[in-house]
Amino acid sequence: MRKAFSLLLILCLLALPAASFAAALAADPAATTVEMSDVLYGLFFEDINHAADGGLYAELLQNRSFENQDLLDPKPHQRYNGWQFNLKNKGKAAAVPATEAPLNENNPTYMRITIEKAPYLLSNMGYASTAFSGGVPVEEGMQYDFSVWMRNPGDYTGGITVAITDRSANPLSESFTIAPAGEWQKFEHTFTSQATADACLTVTMEGTGSIDIDMASLMPRERFGAEWPGGGLRTDLVETLRALNPRFLRFPGGCVAEGSYVRANVYNWKDTVGPVEQRRENFNTWGYMQSYGIGFFEYFCLAEALGAEPLPVVHAGLLCQAREVREAPLTLEETRAYGQDILDLIEFATGDATTEWGGLRAQMGHPEPFRLNYLAIGNENWDNIYFDRYAILSEMVKASYPEITCIVAAGPVAEGALPQHSWQQIRSRFAEDLVDEHYYMDSDWFLRNTGRYDRYPRTTQVFLGEYAAHEPVIGGRRPNNLYSALCEAAYMTAIERNSDLVQIACYAPLMAREGMFQWTPDLIWFNAREVLLTPNYYVQQMFAATVGDHVVESTLEGENLYHVVTRTEDKLYVKVVSLSESETPLTLTLAGVPDGTAETVQLTGEKRMQNALTAPDRIAPVTGGCTISGGVAECVLPAYSVTIFTFPLAQ
């Protein structure tokens, strides 16, 4: 009998959900601690994973300018990337990348097609010329702005037409006729697509002789920033960025800003401004060419459009220290000379239209100066080889622009001798500057290290310029799952608690094109038509929408919970992250908070769950309410969740 009872008890216990321990959070909104940064959350945009070319940039054609190359292995065939020749197989021609009498000196390569037998077809397949689906994505009834530069070097006779076609060269739009003369000339037309398809852009040459082609471009008419010289951005991706409510935009990298292997690869902001056909393309440190259709002007415009502080990163005279370096850094003398480029950048952004570089900005369509309060000199740099160059460059900036906050790099890792040495140097030489920390660590590291910034001296402020919680690789990529997002959320409660010290924090990398990525995890995934938001994205979005201006003193009793309480004049934000595997009843005791209902936003799901293009909303924030009466509110936190409560405060 006794045995049977024990068995029954065990069975009953097994049937119960895992034990749930009640938790209690208490805060008094009148008891504030530190003032919070008003630029805490923002974006780090780098052209990695085709975030710019093949991503945010509205250009649908790949290698439009025939400049593609691999820095370490510049074989001529790379100039053909993105293009297909003689699709209908009816013509005969020699198609050769040529450099004699180019469009301009910054755009040295064009395609010379010498046709023996017509018709000869030249087609751009967009970003589908490798083994994955896609192409030039067109929608029935939508318009597409086309342009191309062409020249008839002398002996071409016959017609030339251009159309959007399917991948067998059957027309999907009206055709546009071109008659090039002996000099380079730009031709433009707006096509209307007759179908929704993964298409291509096809130039049909009906005659014989030679034709020169360069800078072919096709962009959806509906795009963001069409008036910018670069041509504009993909609207859906811009809106995805806007929804993160970013307070700053860090650009253009990352390693991209530093360049790899040889000096010719460093990112030179001057190559990225002016008319788009005059921008000197460069190989991307992530393995592809940068068209610079999104150049520094466009970055500043984007920051302005998003209401974000622009935060440019310039190199410090060193190639990416994390990669093999084949050329010496700039000497200290050369570094001083290079410093003028940085001063020119500041003039480009903020100088009036009568100055040389401010004048270029005005010509490009922005006579008013841009904001510029921050400037990072260096990305992931360390050691005295960097700090000596940083000293020269930051002194030059401060001497002319004392109002700009310079940002100094502390290296690419979270712990150990390297950052210790960096911090030692920085504290003794650059204590007033903002310090750029980068770390990509496993998810649990973030939970173990929520006390990191509690221990930092308050003398020098931090810019957490790159971070992400990394999960083990599955199927060739590190997943963006709920667990990693919650570990980041837990860490972000600590960032907020320390936001007198941590002025700025941004997740990295920001975007990745499905099938064309070099780095995982990433905050936003996309393909030619769709955008996929990750749990990590939603955490960033939820936190950025509820930044207070002061941290509020608070206590939380409970297991596997992380929290922060902040406030503005009229709102109290309570953020609670639960890493518990069972639900947790929570009592909130909030002194003086008026009776009523708090809005709640919650993200929860299975621990390792991810969103996918086929199931984009598996993990998505859900809004709800929570009543408070007599300063007490009760709720139940789901297992693996983050909940943000917004309580109205009496004014």
Catalytic (active-site) positions: 380
Instruction: Look up residue 301 and give its two tokens.
Output: 């415009």
Instruction: Please state, in angstroms and rounded to a whole number, the distance separating the CA atoms of residues 641 and 620.
Output: 11
Instruction: Please state, in angstroms and rounded to a whole number, the distance separating the CA atoms of residues 395 and 613.
Output: 48
Smallest CA-to-CA distance from 538 within 496, 573, 474, 492 is with 492
**HEC profile for 75-122?**
CHHHHHCCEEECCCCCCEEEEEEECCCCCECCECCEEEEEEEECCEEE
Question: Nearest 5°: CA angle at 465, between 513 and 51?
Answer: 15
CA distances from 257 to 122, 263, 316, 378, 469 (A): 34, 12, 9, 8, 23
Query: For the chain, how far is it from start to end, CA to CA, in angstroms?
Result: 65
Smallest CA-to-CA distance from 56 within 67, 43, 66 is with 43
Least distance between ligand AHR and beta carbon 411 (Å): 10
Question: Which residue carries 């030339």 as its tokens?
Answer: 160
Task: Give the number of residues written for the chain.
Answer: 651
Instruction: Please state, in angstroms and rounded to a whole number, the distance separating the CA atoms of residues 557 and 600.
Output: 20
By beta-carbon proximity to ligand AHR, the closer residue of 358 and 412 is: 412
By beta-carbon proximity to ligand AHR, the closer residue of 46 and 212 is: 46
Instruction: Look up residue 219 and give its two tokens.
Output: 């962009």
Contact positions vs ligand AHR (CB under 6 A)? 46, 48, 253-255, 379-380, 412, 438, 466, 508-509, 519
- Name the pairing type of β-strands 289-290 and 185-192: unpaired
Smallest CA-to-CA distance from 508 within 251, 234, 238 is with 251
Q: Which residues contact 416 (CB under 8 A, 6 or more apart)?
A: none
Q: Which residue is nearest to ligand AHR (CB)?
A: 254
Least distance between ligand AHR and beta carbon 510 (Å): 8
Instruction: Please state, in angstroms and rounded to a whole number, the distance separating the CA atoms of residues 638 and 651.
Output: 32
By beta-carbon proximity to ligand AHR, the closer residue of 437 and 496 is: 437
Biggest CA–CA distance in the chain, Å, is: 106
Instruction: Please state, in angstroms and rounded to a whole number, the distance separating the CA atoms of residues 205 and 121.
Output: 6
Instruction: Please state, in angstroms and rounded to a whole number, the distance separating the CA atoms of residues 254 and 43.
Output: 12
Q: At what angle do helices 482-497 and 535-544 cross, to 10 degrees?
A: 20
Least distance between ligand AHR and beta carbon 499 (Å): 22
Least distance between ligand AHR and beta carbon 355 (Å): 32
Least distance between ligand AHR and beta carbon 522 (Å): 9
Least distance between ligand AHR and beta carbon 251 (Å): 11
Least distance between ligand AHR and beta carbon 509 (Å): 4
Least distance between ligand AHR and beta carbon 254 (Å): 3
Radius of gyration of the chain (CA): 28
